Chains A and B, each alone.
Chain A
Amino acid sequence: MNSKSYKVKEIISDALELPKDITLDLPKVIILGTDSVSIENHKGIISYKDDQIRINTSCGILTITGSKLVIKSIIQEEIIITGKIVNIEYR
């Protein structure tokens, strides 16, 4: 995160107005209401429980809490999680 190359990349993408999720490999989290979350640029699942899913990303572990969480689809670029979502945090 604090490496030199990261900062250079950030400056360049700011200057050229390039989307950071592509240039910096940052996760893009889209929350659709309370029942669907999609995470692009993830780095794999850390833990999966019915009420909590932890997903590794380049800027920390994303924790989604809720109930009846289902991984609707998982590919290398994107995870789609459905269910009743209560909380999303980096922890």
Chain B
Amino acid sequence: MLILRIWNYLRGYAIIVVKGIKIERFINLAVVNNIYLWDIEKIDYATIKAKISSSDFFKLKSIVKKTDSNIQIIEKCGMPFKIKKMKKRKWFVVGLAILLISIYILSSYIWMIEIYGLKNIDEQVVIENLSHAGLKIGMRKKKINKRKVENKLLIRMPELTWVGVEMKGTKAFIKVVEKGPEPQLINKDEPCDIVASKNGVIEKILVLNGDGMVKDGDTVKKNQLLVSGTIIRNNLPERYVHSMAEVHARTWYEDVEEIPYEQIEYKKSGRVHKTYSLEIVSRKFERDKKIPYEDYNKIEKEIYIFNFGSYVFPIKLIITQYEELVSTTKIISEEEAKTICEERLNAKIKLQIPEDAVILNQRIEYFPNEKSLIGKIYVEVLEDIGVKVRIK
């Protein structure tokens, strides 16, 4: 019967209300005359509600006369009536068609590039290079040759070892593998010297190959020759070797930090100002932005309005949130300043010292003056300062 229903929907049907005493006879006559009624419901003693196809409706006339009943149409349903309604709402239909077409057209372009596997390289750099290699936001999917883009990007960016381009919906997924650290440039059979990478005092030098030029306790300067790969002996011609040595030296690091006693603190006042702007393709539509606060935290959120899984359309809603900050000046004591200073100095100096160095000594000196406290940190470490240099 489902097929019949669909057929009736396509041809159009009406919901009618029949009033009369001989309601059963009405139904029976309809059946006998091949008029299809369905979903017949009894409303009250002498009233039924039923559905009837629009072509059958006019056949009811004789039955109505015979049974002395009364018919009323309460609703017209089905495709023909829908189409009639649509004709009245012409512009709505046109708009709908335009929307569907524009979605279809837009979905054949790339609107988003996602890059995976980046460790050290900036995403923006890869996107920039991609645009030169032939993959840009706003390009047609058909025009993009994946293998070509991969090859071109690899040529443009020698720091990558592998690139995979994949397209799903309106997104392009770029998978990237970065090159690992370069292996040591100097081969074992190439002659080389060892020089100091920084100033220091030699604590211990252990020469495995080559001629040591310095002794324990010597002060060395940066780039000073520590181990020579050129071996000169009496009565023998010059010989060149690949020098190897462990050169542990004491080195120093220092840093300065100034902490004013007057500290300006920023606190959120709790007041938030939000602005909305719309970005279509790459054109921004925004209302004039007046930020009512002097100091603020700015938080930007981008939302793709039309985001259906891998189908993303280039209409972005940008919500910018400004959180008002209230500044307060606070005067701190010297002791407090010292603790802050120490914390900052320790954090700062950690960035300078190489990871494998051993810290031997650490000293912080404070020089207080009227307005601020100046702290100086000195760190003495033990580290390997030998660097291999090829002999020319």
- Please list the residues of chain A having a beta carbon within 8 angstroms of any beta carbon in chain B: 44-50, 69-76, 80
Q: How far is the CB of B20 from chain A (nearest CB, A)?
A: 12
List the 4 shortest-distance A-B pairs measured between CB atoms, nearest first.
A71-B40, A44-B28, A73-B38, A50-B42
Q: How far is the CB of A75 from chain B (nearest CB, A)?
A: 6
Residues of B within 8 A of A72 (CB): 1, 38-40
Q: Which residue of B lies closest to A77 (CB)?
A: B31
Decide if B27 is an interface residue (CB 8 Å cutoff).
yes
- Besides A45-B27, A72-B1, A74-B36, 8 more A-B contacts (Cβ < 8 Å) are A44-B31, A45-B24, A48-B23, A48-B27, A48-B48, A70-B40, A71-B38, A72-B39
Q: Which residue of A lies closest to B38 (CB)?
A: A73
Most buried by A among B27, B30, B32: B27
Residues of B within 8 A of A47 (CB): 24
Q: Considering the chains assembled together, what is the distance between the CA atoms of A70 and B51 in angstroms?
A: 12
Q: Which residue of B lies closest to A46 (CB)?
A: B24
Contact B32 A70 (CB under 8 A): no
Q: Considering the chains assembled together, what is the distance between the CA atoms of A88 and B11 in angstroms?
A: 36
Q: Considering the chains assembled together, what is the distance between the CA atoms of A71 and B28 in angstroms?
A: 12
Q: List 5 A-B contacts (CB under 8 A).
A: A47-B24, A48-B24, A49-B42, A71-B39, A80-B1
Q: Considering the chains assembled together, what is the distance between the CA atoms of A18 and B34 in angstroms?
A: 28
Residues of A within 8 A of B23 (CB): 48
Q: How far is the CB of B296 from chain A (nearest CB, A)?
A: 64
Summarize A's interface: helix, strand, loop or mixed.
strand
Contact A45 B28 (CB under 8 A): yes
Contact A75 B24 (CB under 8 A): no
Contact B39 A48 (CB under 8 A): no
Q: How far is the CB of A80 from chain B (nearest CB, A)?
A: 7
Q: Considering the chains assembled together, what is the distance between the CA atoms of A72 and B24 in angstroms?
A: 15
Contact B37 A70 (CB under 8 A): no
Contact A74 B38 (CB under 8 A): yes
Contact A71 B24 (CB under 8 A): no
Q: Considering the chains assembled together, what is the distance between the CA atoms of A74 and B48 in angstroms?
A: 14
Q: B37 is contacted by which of A49, A50, A69, A74 (Cβ under 8 Å)?
A: A74
In the complex, per-residue mask of B1-40: 1 if CB is within 8 Å of any chain A CB, else 0:
1001000000000000000000110011011101011111
Most buried by A among B1, B27, B37, B40: B40
Contact B27 A74 (CB under 8 A): yes
Residues of A within 8 A of B32 (CB): 76
Q: Considering the chains assembled together, what is the distance between the CA atoms of A10 and B1 in angstroms?
A: 32
Q: Which residue of B lies closest to A42 (CB)?
A: B31
Residues of A within 8 A of B37 (CB): 71, 73-74
Q: Considering the chains assembled together, what is the distance between the CA atoms of A80 and B1 in angstroms?
A: 10
Residues of B within 8 A of A71 (CB): 27, 37-41
Contact B31 A74 (CB under 8 A): yes
Q: Considering the chains assembled together, what is the distance between the CA atoms of A73 and B40 in angstroms?
A: 7
Residues of A within 8 A of B38 (CB): 71-74
Q: Considering the chains assembled together, what is the distance between the CA atoms of A75 and B38 in angstroms?
A: 9
Contact B1 A70 (CB under 8 A): no
Contact B31 A48 (CB under 8 A): no
Residues of B within 8 A of A46 (CB): 24
Once A47-B24, A48-B48 are accepted as A-B contacts, the answer to whether A75 and B42 lie under 8 Å apart by CB is no
Q: Considering the chains assembled together, what is the distance between the CA atoms of A73 and B42 in angstroms?
A: 14
Q: Which residue of B lies closest to A70 (CB)?
A: B41
Q: Which residue of A lies closest to B43 (CB)?
A: A50
